[in-house]
Chains A and B, each alone.
Chain A
Amino acid sequence: MKKRWYDYLYIFSALYLFLGLFHILFAWLGVICFITPLLISIFGGGKTYCNKYCGRGQLFELLGKKKKLSRNKPMPRFMTTKWFRYGFLIFFMIMFLNMIFATYLVFSGASSLKEGIKLLWTFRIPMKVYFAKNIFPAWVYQFAFGFYSVMLTSTLLGIITMLLYKPRSWCVYCPMGTMTHGISILKEKTHKKE
C-alpha cells in the first residue's frame, strides 16, 4: 500500500519523547496530540485522528508488528469492556486535573516549582531544567513536567500492553480514543433525535 505523509507521524511521537528529555519545555508540543483529536471528533470527523494521524498508534504498530516485539495475543476480555475503558478514562482525567491543580499552585505562588517527572503516577524521577530556566513563569515549567509525565506514563503502559497483547492494545483503552469514541457516539445520538 502507498505510504502517505501521515504514515510517518510515529517519528514525531518518538522524537517528542526524546525532545522532552532534552528540554522539558518541548513537552508543551504534546498538547497538540490532546486538542487535535478532540477538535476532529467534535467537528464530526469521528476517529479520523486515531485512524490516520496518531503517531503513537503507529509507533506501537511499528514496534509490535514490524519489529515483532508483540506476543500478539488477545487482551483480557475485561479490558475491552466499557467499564474498564471509561473507568480508566475517569482515573486518567482525575490524575490530569491533579496535575493542572499542581500547575495552578505554582501559578498562584502557593508552591514553588517542583522539578522532576512522575512515572505511573507514583515514581518520582528527578529531572532538571538545565538552561532557559527563566524565560517563562514557573508554572509553564510545572505544566511541562506534569504533561511530560502523563505522556511518558501512557507510552509506558502502551508499550507494556503492546508487548503482552496485540501491538495496538493501548488503542482499546487509550483515554483520547475513548473520548473521541464517546464524542462520536454522542454526536450520532443527538443527530438522530433532531
Chain B
Amino acid sequence: MKAQVDTDICVACGCCAKACRRNAIQIHKGIYAVVDVEKCTGCGLCQRECPASIITLVDGRALANEKKVV
C-alpha cells in the first residue's frame, strides 16, 4: 500500500508532509504534494492529516508504473 495524492484538489498546505515520519512527501512548487514511493511505507499518517481528505492508499505496483510513465 502506498499513498497517492489527488493533485487536482490538493491545496499544497503541507499537512501531509508534516505528518509523514519518513519524510516521503514533498510539496511541489507550492502546487501539490508528491509522494516518494520508494520511501512511503503506507502507514496512512498523511491520509489521516489531509484536511481535504484526498490521500488514498493504493497498491504499490500501480503507483510505481505510473511513476515510470511520468
Contact = CB atoms under 8 A, between A and B. Distances in A.
Given A171-B11, A172-B13, A184-B12, A166 B50 contact: yes
Contacts of B12: 46-47, 50-51, 181, 184
B43 interface: no
Given A184-B30, A188-B29, A47 B14 contact: yes
Contacts of A172: 11, 13, 51-52
Given A85-B11, A184-B12, A47 B52 contact: no
Given A45-B30, A48-B30, A51-B17, A166 B11 contact: no
Interface residues of B, number: 20
A69 B48 CA distance: 15
Contact of A184 (B18, B29, B53): B29
Q: Is the interface of B mostly helix, strand, loop or mixed?
A: loop
A72 B50 CA distance: 10
8 contacts: A47-B12, A52-B14, A65-B49, A166-B50, A166-B51, A181-B12, A183-B30, A184-B12
Interface of B: 9, 11-15, 17-18, 21, 27, 29-31, 48-54
